[in-house]
Amino acid sequence: WVADSGEGRWTVKEAIDLDVPAPVITLALQARFVSRQEESFAAKLLAAMRNQFGGHAVKREGN
C-alpha cells in the first residue's frame, strides 16, 4: 500500500481549518487510504511508482 508521511494529512487538516479548498491533495490522500484497504493492481502500481520516483517505502499488509 501507499504510505503517507503525514504532510498531506496535515495540509488537508489545515485547509479545512482555514476554509480553503484543496481538492487535489485531498483526493490524493484519500487514494492512499484506499490503497490500504483493497488489494488492487492500481494500488500496487501506484506504490511501486512512488517508490521508484520518490524513494517512498512500499508497505505490505502486516508490516
Q: Is residue 40 included in any domain, yes or no?
A: yes
Q: Is residue 62 part of a domain?
A: no
Please state the pTM of the whole predicted model: 0.57
pLDDT tens, residue by residue, 26-50: 998 888 888 777 677 877 787 788 7
- Which DSSP symbol is given to 63? -
Find the domain containing 49 and state its range: 7-54
Higher pLDDT, 14 or 56: 14
Q: How many domains does the chain have?
A: 1
Which pLDDT score, from 0 to 100, does residue 12 have? 96
User: Cell numbers of 3, please?
Assistant: 504510505
Q: Does some domain include residue 19?
A: yes
Residue 49: inside a domain: yes
Q: Is 59 helix (H, G, I), strand (E, B) or coil?
A: coil
| Residues composing the chain | 63
* Nearest Cα residue to 46 out of 60, 62, 35: 35
Instruction: Report yes or no on 14 lying in a domain.
Output: yes
Q: Is residue 63 part of a domain?
A: no
